[in-house]
A and B are shown apart, each in its own frame.
Chain A
Amino acid sequence: MRKKLLVVLLVLVAVMMFAFANGQDENKKEELSIWTGYPEMEPFYQHVAEQFNETHPNVKITIVSHPLREFEQKLSATIPADTVGDIIEISTYSVKKFIDAGMIPENPDNVVDFMTTPDRFSDFVLSACHYGDKYYGLPLFLGRTALFYNKDMFKAAGIENPPTTFDEMYEDAKKLAKYDDNNKLTVSGHSLRLSGSGSGLGEKFWFVLFPMGGTILEEGATEGTYHAGYNNDAGFNAVRYYLDAVHKDKWDSPEIKHDAEAFELGLTAMFFRESWVIGDAAQKVPDLNYGTAFVPSAARWGRITNLENLYVTRACENPELAWEFAELCLSPENQTWMLDNIGWLPSRTDVDFSESIAKTPQLAAFIDSPEGYDEFGYIPISCFDEILTKFSERLSAAYLNAKLDTDDAALRKWLDDAAKETNEILEKAGMFGE
């Protein structure tokens, strides 16, 4: 007993020494810290840091990455307390509330000039950074969706090309689905997002809703107001699309695997996802024979575009230096490096990525922007996440409800109820408008 006590005390002493050793300041160099919510981006920032240190050898650059869900919690604690890093990389959507609270400084003029150079960024991307008459943040990379399809399965089913319309996609899915002896689905024709928490389910639904002519929130008559944009025929058709898939023609089912995992295992022939799947598949299933295509069209044509921007925070003591680093991240060479090595899509449209596309042809469907292929995205209002999350929960219950597939009136009522909730949330936030 005595000996144990002694050991413990010794450890305690060692620990306390360690504790105080940690609290000392290193010799003062200039420092820049970058915080990101994407651990896979670390190598990118290190690459940029090396370049930066060539011209600024006295600057110590620290990169801290966090799992995304906790990153938001951390920012909500550190941004108001000004203990946040110098540069943060975060979506335009998530940062809006901090901008509204006046905690994020606007972009300096030289950065604005950089951004507004013609053809550098698409109109949609620029507008997502533009609030009132000020610009915030520098777009670094994009999250876009495309259709992934298994070439071997397509060939086996006798389908030559990936679908270009949603109707085509439906018919293809019917042909591609496989069943076992008990008529249970083993391979889905297309892997829809049918379950899971958060707003992801609603977001994936939006991929179908938008081409069909609807959207989550439509702008109201007065500026700054909105209302539900899915309580219409477009919404009806989109939900029916899912319901028919699960209950009528049964080419997808909540009981089998979904998403990238299913695609990589050969348990589905197609699905919608972002470009990170390319890198993931290269690592896990390098022999998978797949291709990518644009999201099919229906009444209109478009895919979601999410921006991840770099922001220099109020807590930064060296904003000029920080913005310099940020702009360096956007050099053509670094944008290409990011595309080739990390897999996230570059934000600039005035750089030639054809070499990268030649190396990895699946990138074409993400980067190319043919005429008429629209972009849409999250509306940067504070309650959007709440609206989308609650809508997602309703959707996941609806998908399991076979009755909604045959009973038109019930489906219309379902849309009414969901829209009512959406509009109530808007009302509470003072943003509702017909």
Chain B
Amino acid sequence: MNKDKITVGRVVSVVLLFLGALIMILPFLWMLSTSLKPTTQILDWPPKLIPETFTIQHYFTVFQTVPFGRFFINSICMSTLSTVVILLTSVLAGYVFAKFSFPGKKFLFMAILATAMVPFETYMIPLYLSMVKFHWVNTFMGLVAPYLVMSYGIFFMRQNIKSTIPNELMDAARIDGLGEFGIFYKVVLPLMTGSAGALAIFAFMQTWAAFIWPLIITSSKELWTTELGLGMFQFRFSVDMGPINAGSIISIFPVLLVFLFFRRNIMSSMTLSGMKD
């Protein structure tokens, strides 16, 4: 029966969901609160969630102390380029690995997946030395290079394509005379907008949060990203809490916007009306 049933289970799960949400949002609320507190109140212990007096001074400090606007633009460009290239490479490669067999396939896939298993910090220096050879040190290309591919991306698209696209669909398209690239463009891509949207979010987020690589590859502040800029408020032994939280709030917004933008995408691809009780 497709009526809305209010079961005990349902109520409990909703309550838990909201409780969970409360825990999830707590640091964000604290960040917001700290960014609006005058420095003398930040150290209050136990901390008060709602500031006694409000100030937006820290937001100005962020832009005055460092060229935050420039950092922001750098981050946007870097993350956007990275997301686009990752989407292109991941969807295509994911599709190939999901639906085709050819000699060497298993090896290639495992090799690519294996690169995800090695933490970046371990091969960062040899990569840097390659950048030196290419004369890409302190350039935009050098900055964005490691973020042009994402092993998880290929893996993610492969799994999603496996579970969404039946082989029969492709065979039918082949019988209809569509070439392989045609199938990819006309049949596969439209069906994968949901997962591609999710991938876009993840790729953007990951590149946005990059810290150690931008730090190493840049020698001048012109190329810095917002994360690096935030690091400027972390001194040797203390942290300037006000500006760092103000800067963090500012820097969360692009990622949040990307999330909201692509979320609608995910939602609209398939609505689960059949799931209502």
Contact = CB atoms under 8 A, between A and B. Distances in A.
Interface of A: 1, 8, 11-12, 14-16, 18-19, 22-23, 33, 37-40, 62, 64-68, 70, 73-74, 76-78, 81, 83, 85, 257, 260-261, 264-265, 267, 274, 276, 280, 283-286
B55 interface: no
Contacts of A70: 211-212, 215, 231
Given A64-B219, A276-B236, A284-B40, 12 more contacts: A14-B77, A19-B140, A23-B141, A33-B219, A38-B236, A64-B221, A70-B212, A70-B215, A77-B128, A260-B237, A276-B237, A280-B238
Contact of B139 (A23, A65, A285): A23
A83 B40 CA distance: 41
25 contacts: A8-B84, A11-B80, A15-B80, A15-B81, A18-B77, A19-B77, A22-B140, A23-B139, A23-B141, A39-B231, A62-B220, A64-B219, A64-B221, A66-B231, A70-B215, A70-B231, A73-B216, A77-B124, A83-B138, A83-B219, A265-B43, A276-B237, A280-B238, A285-B40, A286-B40
A369 B232 CA distance: 33
Contacts of B45: 257, 265, 267
Contacts of A67: 231-232, 234
Contacts of B128: 77, 81
Chain B interface residue count: which class? Answer: 35 or more
B15 interface: no
B125 interface: yes
Contacts of B193: 1
Contacts of B140: 18-19, 22-23
B236 A65 contact: no
A264 B39 CA distance: 13
Contacts of A11: 80, 84
User: In terms of DSSP, what is the predominant structure of the interface of chain A?
Assistant: helix
B235 A39 contact: yes
Contact of A81 (B129, B144, B211, B220): B129
Nearest to A257: B45
Contact of A22 (B43, B139, B215, B236): B139
B97 interface: no
User: In terms of DSSP, what is the predominant structure of the interface of chain B?
Assistant: helix
Contacts, number: 99
A277 to B, nearest CB: 8
Contacts of B84: 8, 11-12
B147 interface: no
B233 interface: yes
A264 B43 contact: yes
B266 to A, nearest CB: 14
A215 B268 CA distance: 68
B212 A73 contact: yes
Which of the listed residues B45, B140, B212, B237 has the most CB atoms from chain A within 10 Å of its own CB? B237
B183 interface: no
A284 B140 CA distance: 39
